Amino acid sequence: MTFPATRDAAFERLDGFLPHAGADYAQWRNHHDRDGAPTTSRLSPAIRRRLISEAEVCARVIAHHGRAAATRFIDEVCWRSYWVGWLQARPAIWRRWRDDVASLTAALDTDPDLGARHAAAIAGQTGIDCFDAWIAELRDTGWLHNHARMNFASIWIFTLRLPWQLGAELFWRELLDACPASNTLSWRWVAGLHTPGKTYLARAETIRAMSGGRFAVTAPLATDAIVPPDAGLPAPMAIAPADRIEGNARIGLLVMSSDFSLETLPLPRLTAVAAPETVSADLSPLRADYGETARADAVARAVLLAGVAPDRLDNDHMVEATRAWAARHRLDRIITADAPVGPIAARLDRLAPALAADGVQLLRLRRAWDDVAWRHADKGFFAFRAAIPRLLALPVGAIC
Ligand SMILES: Cc1cc2nc3c(=O)[nH]c(=O)nc-3n(C[C@H](O)[C@H](O)[C@H](O)COP(=O)(O)OP(=O)(O)OC[C@H]3O[C@@H](n4cnc5c(N)ncnc54)[C@H](O)[C@@H]3O)c2cc1C
């Protein structure tokens, strides 16, 4: 199974999938495959890094099928924007998850029962055929079908009685599309921590049907969904206003891996371009390789767009490396695409005051798609759906 790791390959994948993005998608999307052929686009690793944007994907699908026939596919793309917006207003959920992972990982050594059940699960030795096969598939490909993810998470939480936070951590390390919002919040949704009173309980007959009989699922699955403990939902925070570029200056572009759609950013004349390395010791080699290929593609495109050779910034010393880069090119401002809650936004948060101390402004260009989505993701998805026509009416490259 391959996933497009360049912008051109993402458009090619989308164009190949277009005929299936209408009625076929609505009918088959929950099936893991259809006579061996994919039932979904498998674009998520590319969309996650915005090698291709949600706006571009929706525009092409609507041009092919019309709005009505594409509803189901557009809704799914917008689930992503909803999750990102929802987390944006509640960053404490992300921080809490990171803290929980640290303490639960330590508990694996001190609690032998938890440690043994966790070890069996991640080794694919639970005796639950679908679960053990999905672990292997996740490691081999860096991807699982959405229906497999829901059932994997449900079995992890309710049948194996493992903490959802450690399951989300496994996905975070392994998935090529690992996304702070979609991953954390989907796990919480399955666990019953997102929508009060709503859990997702895996059922053997549904797994058999949706996997086309690939799994027998004879091992017993939980019949009760006991909602795990949780610190509760923080009150939503106001979304900060977007930055704007004003006046002329020596400007550098920082290419971050949350948004590689440089072609649809309104770029001013650039003095310098830099793209930090994306490799991190915590990630699976497959995910790290995918990220580096996508970064190399963005760097190559940046050369064509800006007419300057990009500089590489040391990942481990990003703040110091960026300050030195700004000083070398005598930059007044650095622009970058705004990043939603997650490790990249945290880096930008650390970078901004350090640059400001040197008299360099860090400006985050926010896409209008994100601004509208983030402001409408304060309740449930069904309330958010009312904003989808506004998202679709935005020009593809619009920023705030
Ligand atoms: C426990 C769990 C963890 C998940 N973790 C992630 C994650 O880390 N990153 C991620 O991108 N998705 C995540 N998802 C959502 C979903 O499973 C994937 O987006 C989808 O499987 C990607 O396959 P596709 O590209 O073929 O999707 P398609 O069905 O072709 O949909 C097109 C695009 O819409 C978006 N999308 C589709 N379904 C969803 C959904 N349910 N939620 C959010 N966005 C969606 C994706 O960007 C996807 O590429 C998770 C779901 C679950 C249940």
> Is the residue at 130 inside a domain?
yes
- Nearest protein Cα to ligand 1, atom 39: 76
What is the secondary structure of 113-167 as a DSSP string?
A: HHHHHHHHHHTT-SS-HHHHHHHHHHHHHS---HHHHHHHHHIIIIIS---HHHH
Q: What is the reported pLDDT for 279?
A: 63
Cβ(47) to ligand 1 under 6 A? yes
Number of helices (H), then strands (E), in the chain: 18, 5
Convert the pLDDT of each residue in 126-148 to its tens digit: 999 999 999 999 999 999 999 99
The Cβ-side half-sphere exposure at 373, using a 13 Å CA radius, reads 28
The Cβ-side half-sphere exposure at 248, using a 13 Å CA radius, reads 1
Question: In 10 A of CB 362, how many CB atoms?
Answer: 21
329, 360 Cβ separation under 8 angstroms:
no
The DSSP secondary-structure symbol of 43 reads -
Q: What is the reported pLDDT for 282?
A: 81
Q: What is the CATH number of the domain that holds 66?
A: 1.25.40
> Does residue 358 share a domain with residue 347?
yes
> Does residue 320 share a domain with residue 264?
yes
Best probe residue, ligand 1, of 177, 194, 287 (max atoms within 8 Å of C-beta): 177
Cβ(189) to ligand 1 under 6 A? no
Cβ(284) to ligand 1 under 6 A? no
> Does residue 262 share a domain with residue 338?
yes
Tell me if residue 365 falls in helix, strand or coil: strand
> Does residue 262 share a domain with residue 204?
no
> Does residue 124 share a domain with residue 201?
yes
Q: Which atom of ligand 1 is nearest to the CA of 48?
A: 11
Q: What is the reported pLDDT for 276?
A: 87
> Is the residue at 156 inside a domain?
yes
> Is the residue at 399 inside a domain?
no
Arithmetic mean of pLDDT over the chain: 95
> Does residue 266 share a domain with residue 349?
yes
> Does residue 261 share a domain with residue 297?
yes
> Does residue 192 share a domain with residue 125?
yes
Cβ(77) to ligand 1 under 6 A? yes
Convert the pLDDT of each residue in 240-280 to its tens digit: 888 988 777 899 999 999 999 999 998 899 999 999 877 67
Best probe residue, ligand 1, of 18, 20, 44 (max atoms within 8 Å of C-beta): 44
pTM of whole model > 0.85?
A: yes
Convert the pLDDT of each residue in 193-216 to its tens digit: 999 889 999 999 999 999 999 999
Q: What is the CATH number of the domain that holds 345?
A: 3.40.50.620
Between residues 282 and 39, the one the model is more confident about: 39
Q: What is the reported pLDDT for 77?
A: 98
* Residue 340 domain boundaries: 251-365
> Does residue 102 share a domain with residue 81?
no
Asked whether the predicted pLDDT for residue 281 surpasses 80, the reply is: no
Neighbouring-strand partners of residue 362: 334
| Domain-terminating residue out of 159, 179, 210 | 210
| Tokens encoding 149 | 């993810």
> Is the residue at 217 inside a domain?
no
Tell me if residue 67 falls in helix, strand or coil: coil
> Does residue 119 share a domain with residue 67?
no
| Number of domains observed in the structure of the chain | 3
The DSSP secondary-structure symbol of 378 reads S
> Does residue 28 share a domain with residue 12?
yes
> Does residue 56 share a domain with residue 141?
no
Q: How many Å apart are CA 299 and CA 38, to the nearest integer?
A: 30
